[in-house]
Structure 1
């Protein structure tokens, strides 16, 4: 199983600045089997922090395997959501842009 921090670090290396140029958002990740993390996207940059943000734009709940599969492109995020593997709260439409901002290789 992948380490959650490694998954996020890999995700950040694929950050697409042009896809996020107009975005100002906080993605909170509540991981069932790891510490929570949040990714802040502002001013065309993405930063990762461990912990919980008190004003996340969208909160996504899942286990690290699901996170790894979605971010590697093995699993479609919308399908995972429909199958109940991902729980989302807040700006759900923003969640659908995650793979545009962090495209799979």
Structure 2
């Protein structure tokens, strides 16, 4: 198991079982704080990528994650069975997904389902909403 995977697995019970305020405190106490945890999640995202299901797809998911330190921007690009992640805001992503840090982390472990988050207003989607729904087919939980 990689060091990144081990760090995430150590954090998983905190993500899954902590109330929002405790989760945010725990994230701030991790190596690198909020940026360190988000970097870890996006570093591991390609591990959950199902390349065979995305062979015919392409586009970029832009994430705007609301944190106590202000918004953090990451993107995940899919290009016919390949996946790349990066930090920052892109000019023209296919879809932009806005979510609060705690809800985002719970989604990464499967503790909060994307459709449920969307229906309850915890997940905001702009751009191509049909493309946004591909996430469930192309990526698993961490």
TM-score, normalisation: structure 2? 0.69
Distance 2:138 2:101 in 1: 19
The structure with the greater share of residues assigned to helix is 2
In the alignment, structure 1 residue 32 sits paired with structure 2 residue 66: yes
Structure 1 stretches of at least 4 aligned residues deviating more than 6 Å after TM superposition = none
2:79 maps to which residue? 42
Distance 2:141 2:74 in 1: 20
- Cα shift at 1:36: 0.1
Alignment root-mean-square deviation, CA: 1.4
Q: Which of 41, 47, 51 lines up with 2:88 in the alignment?
A: 51
Larger RCO (CA under 8 A, 6+ residues apart): 1
Is 80-89 or 33-42 further displaced after alignment? 33-42
1:101 maps to which residue? 138
Residues 17-40 of structure 1 show CA distances to partners (whole Å, capped at 9, x for unaligned) of 011111111000011115201111
1:91 maps to which residue? 128
Distance 2:113 2:93 in 1: 23
Is 52-61 or 65-74 further displaced after alignment? 65-74
- Cα shift at 1:56: 0.4
- Equivalent residues, number: 105
- Cα shift at 1:9: 1.8
In the alignment, structure 1 residue 72 sits paired with structure 2 residue 109: yes
TM-score, normalisation: structure 1? 0.91
In the alignment, structure 1 residue 9 sits paired with structure 2 residue 43: yes
- Tell me, yes or no, if the aligned pair for 1:71 and 1:99 is still in contact at 8 Å: no
Residues 40-99 of structure 1 show CA distances to partners (whole Å, capped at 9, x for unaligned) of 111311101110110100000012221221121111101101111111001111112212
For structure 1, the 5+ residue unaligned runs are none
